[in-house]
Amino acid sequence: MKHFTFTFLLSLFVLSGFSQHVSQNSGWFLFLNSTKLNDKWGLHLDVQLRSADNWDGVQNFLFRPGATYYINKNSNATVGYLLANTYLKGDGLANNTLTEHRIWEQYIYTHKIKPIYAQHRFRLEQRFAETAGGDVFSQRLRYFVRFVLPFSDPKVPFVEGPFVALQNELFFNVQNNEKLNGKLFDQNRAYAAVGYRFSKRFDVEAGYLNQFIDGRTRNTTNNAIQLAIYTRF
C-alpha cells in the first residue's frame, strides 16, 4: 500500500509537469447541517459560497440537500440533489451563469483511533453540467478522509473545546471523462484547520485548503481560506 501510494503521487507530480500551471487565491464558506428525525432517518444540508480568484466576488454557489439513513452508530448512507451555479465574468458572454445539477449517493463510516476521530466518505455523483461547449453528463467518484484531534481528555466524549482537523479528498471522473479533462483523475483537496466545538451541536473552524485541479490543457492550484460551520440536531 505504501509503494502504491508513493507511485500514485509521483505519477501525478510527473504528469502535472507537462501541463501549463496557474495559481489562484480564494475564499470558501461552508455551512453543513445534519438533523436526525429518529433513530434511522435524518436530513442533510450543505450550502457553500466560493469566491473568484483574488477574492473578486462570488464565483460559485452550491446547495446540497439530502436524506440520510443511519445504518448503525458508525455508518450512514445519504441520497441527495445538488444545485451548483458558477458565475462568470467577461465581456461578450452570452450567459454569465453556468448551472450544474447533480444526483449523489454517499456512504460514511466513522471510527476512533485513540484520541483521534476519523471519518471516511465515499460519494458517487451523476452530473448534469452546463458548459461553454454544451451540456455534459458524467459520473464522478470521490473519496474523503477527515481526522479531528480534540485538545481534551481522550477518555471522555468530545462535546466542547478546541480541536485541529486534517482532511483530504480525491476526485475521479469514472464516466465520460473525455467530455471533461480527458482523464480519470480530476482533482485533489487537502485541508488543515483549527476549530472550536461550542457544544455537541455546533462547531466552527477555519483553515487552509489546497485544491489541485488536473485540467485538459492546464493544471490549477487554488489556495483557499475556508470558514466552516457545522450544526447537528
> Among 166, 96, 185, 156, which residue's Cα sits nearest to residue 132?
96
Task: Please state the domain count of the chain.
Answer: 1
Buried residues in 105-126 as b, exposed as e (16+ CB within 10 A): ebebeeeeeeeebeeebebebe
Task: Determine, yes or no, domain membership for 89.
Answer: yes
Question: What does pLDDT average to over the chain?
Answer: 91
pTM score: 0.89
Give a yes or no: residue 16 inside a domain: no
The CATH number of the domain where 124 resides is what?
A: 2.40.160.40
Asked if residue 9 is part of any domain, the answer here is no
Instruction: Please report, in tens digits, the pLDDT of each residue of the chain (233 residues total).
Output: 445 444 444 444 444 445 589 999 999 999 999 999 999 999 999 999 999 999 999 999 999 999 999 999 999 999 999 999 999 886 555 558 999 999 999 999 999 999 999 999 999 999 999 987 789 999 999 999 999 999 999 889 999 999 999 999 999 999 999 999 999 999 999 999 999 999 999 999 999 999 999 999 999 999 999 999 999 99
Backbone angles phi, psi at 65, to 5 degrees: -90, 160
